[in-house]
Chains A and B, each alone.
Chain A
Amino acid sequence: MKKDRLYFFTMLATIAGYAWLAWNEKYSNMQENTAGTSLCLFRHVTGIPCPSCGTTHALLALSHLHIADAFYFNPIGFILAFAMLILPVWIIRDAITKQDSFYVFYRRLELLLSKRWVAIPFFVLIACNWIWNIYKYTS
């Protein structure tokens, strides 16, 4: 992936993420632990939640500083919250200083993730989270 496209799509994804959160904060009753609006295809088709279902709940809980709730809804929320806070700042910094530090980091991360000793634990963790998700949201 080219640098400009990566920066553009990362920004787009972050903005979409914030917009989605703002919409949910305003129009759905996330605080009362209801199912909320779900765009998850997998959940709509199979009735089983996917590994990252509940992340919206988690992020909203985090924005209200309910850390334990956020962890319960979905631990992936922490990763995404971190990404959503850091990435826009990083990209703007790169744009101002005309560097490509985020691009280099992204490339390194891709290389790291294609190594077996990183990939296997990562997917095992995701799978564990998925099992927990199914247990939480279907029972």
Chain B
Amino acid sequence: MDAQKVEMYLMMNSKYFESHQIPFIHDQLMKMDESKYLMLQSLELKDPTTILIVSLFGGHFGIDRFIIGDTGLGVAKLLTCGGLGIWSIVDWFLIMGRTRETNLAKLTQLFY
């Protein structure tokens, strides 16, 4: 793909990924076919900060996990009172990293 487009994409979307993954994403995007550019643009990535806010208020019911696609864990959290209230607190610290992970997983589906 065109280097300028890749730079632009990374500039706009770097907050959705872990910073140490950016070089990998850059390389993969450079290798990617031009025809996938539209798909790349329309990819729905979740903003870690938004998910953190959801986690603070609705994490007890597992809503944060449902949104990022961890449905099984969401159900587990919902049925166990947010993991006896402990898991929901732990998730306030883990959820941003996990959101970036799922974003990368969505992006890598496009690469291969």
Contact = CB atoms under 8 A, between A and B. Distances in A.
B97 interface: no
A40 B60 CA distance: 9
A41 B82 contact: yes
Interface string A94-132: 000000000000100110011000000000001000000
Given A1-B73, A50-B61, A109-B72, A76 B84 contact: no
A39 B78 contact: no
Contact of A41 (B60, B71, B72, B78): B60
Contact of B79 (A42, A52, A106, A110): A52
A67 interface: no
B80 interface: yes
Interface string B58-92: 00110000000111110110111111111011000
Given A41-B60, A42-B60, A113 B80 contact: no
Interface residues of B, number: 20
B78 A113 contact: no
A51 B81 CA distance: 8
Given A106-B72, A109-B72, A113-B72, A55 B80 contact: yes
A137 to B, nearest CB: 13
Nearest to B101: A1
Contact of A52 (B71, B72, B73, B78): B78
Contact of A16 (B81, B84, B88, B89): B84
